[in-house]
Structure 1
Amino acid sequence: MNFIQNIDIYLLDFIHKSIANDFLDKIMIFITSIGNLGLIWIAISVLLLISKKYRRVGMLCTASLILSSLIGEVVLKNLVQRGRPFTAIEGINLLIKAPKSFSFPSGHTASSFAVAIVIGRKIKSFKLPIYILAFAIAFSRLYLYVHYPSDVLVGALIGIISANIILYIYNKQNF
């Protein structure tokens, strides 16, 4: 685990020494805030559910979001109980309110990828913007020192796997 922790800290330091600035600080604070509690993804899912044309996609997004939250937030966070980077690295000046939950895996990232993968597969015209949003939210968690890169990587994998499980079940039911 020390090896992974060392790589995580190196990558976080690289981000901060290479690209951190006042302008990006403001952008990253905004981007991470729209991912809080998965609200943007819940809102998108609700909008899709309301639309007759995209109702099934909304149901798939909701199911994927629930599955990723159960795996990441309910099971893994409580099982692993990893502290956040700002508690382990000296001299970090947090730009947002300190999250109280454990760090591993990133819930923001898991929910982002859980919904983005479903939308990217089912509504091709939204694929690029929705993937950009998911990546931006994931990156903001690193930039703001509230997650290690491995938290974000595993969060993305949880989201991708959750979406693929839901899509697989859906496709099996409809053929």
Structure 2
Amino acid sequence: MPFATPAWDLALFNALHFGLRGTVLDVLMPLVSSPLLLWAVVGGGLVLGLRHVSWQRRAVVLIALLATLGLTDGGTNIVKHSVGRVRPLNALAGVHYHEDGAWQQRPADYVQTKERGNSYPSAHAASSMAVACLLAFFWPRVRRSIWLLPLVVGFSRVYLAKHYPLDVGMGWLFGIGAALATCAVLLALGHGASVGADPSHDETSPEDGAAPGA
């Protein structure tokens, strides 16, 4: 069944996609939207945050991240195929899109030819939000700034005409749900306090009285 785009969704897309265009964003947004950014953030965060924790705790963090990303990727793909919403770049005239390393634009008389697509929801938005939630859970010190990651990634998807704002918003909600499910499992297994501790504290500190890997 075709996905009918709400008027507010199209209006917000036009405001973000056309209204905020600029040379700087044209350079940055393809980079921000690359999966390499997400993995760079995850990798950098793990290298810095796991330096002073036991191998058991490192395993918990890695398994939680991989499980959550698998859940978001698999879950969003199921919904994508079920809904079949066509991406803006394949549905709207005049939109700008980045392909083969260069910016291109649909002609003013462009007419949608695809009947189905995979726009809803945004897997990029879901994954970036899930990662942000887990990093905030494991390392409370980043809670004030980590949300910039899903915000910028989500905007990049609209800027690149890969998604409508509604796709991004539902992706964020999907990522939050996946992260909450993972955190609930961690807490149920008794890993919340130890894994969520500030990584700058030595795990043998007398302040917590815990043995390494407890």
Using structure 2 for the length normalisation, give the TM-score.
0.69
Distance 1:10 1:36, change over 3 A: farther
Identity of aligned residues (%): 28
Higher percent of residues as helix: 1
State the 1:87 CA deviation. Answer: 1.1
AA matched with 2:88:
P
State the 1:96 CA deviation. Answer: 3.8
Alignment of 1:165 with 2:181, yes or no, is yes
RMSD: 2.6
Q: 1:95 matched to which residue of 2? A: 98
For 1:108, which of 103, 124, 128 is the aligned residue? Answer: 124
Q: Aligned partners of 1:132 and 1:37: how far apart in 2? A: 13
Q: 1:141 matched to which residue of 2? A: 157
Q: 1:26 matched to which residue of 2? A: 27
Distance 1:69 1:16, change over 3 A: closer
- Contact 1:37/1:108 (<8 A) preserved: no
Deviations, residues 15-54 of structure 1 (Å, cap 9, x unaligned): 1343211111111111112x36954466458648975626
Structure 2 unpaired stretches of 5+: 105-116, 192-214
Q: Aligned partners of 1:69 and 1:137: how far apart in 2? A: 15
Structure 1 unpaired stretches of 5+: none
Q: 2:142 matched to which residue of 1? A: 126
For 1:57, which of 50, 61, 83 is the aligned residue? Answer: 61
SS of equivalent to 2:67:
helix
Distance 1:36 1:108, change over 3 A: farther
Q: Aligned partners of 1:7 and 1:90: how far apart in 2? A: 18
State the 1:6 CA deviation. Answer: 2.3
Count of equivalent residues: 170
Distance 1:37 1:30, change over 3 A: closer
Using structure 1 for the length normalisation, give the TM-score.
0.83
Q: 1:155 matched to which residue of 2? A: 171
Distance 1:64 1:52, change over 3 A: farther
Q: Aligned partners of 2:82 and 2:144: how far apart in 1? A: 34
State the 1:68 CA deviation. Answer: 1.0
- Contact 2:17/2:158 (<8 A) preserved: no
Q: Aligned partners of 2:33 and 2:169: how far apart in 1? A: 16
- Contact 2:17/2:161 (<8 A) preserved: no
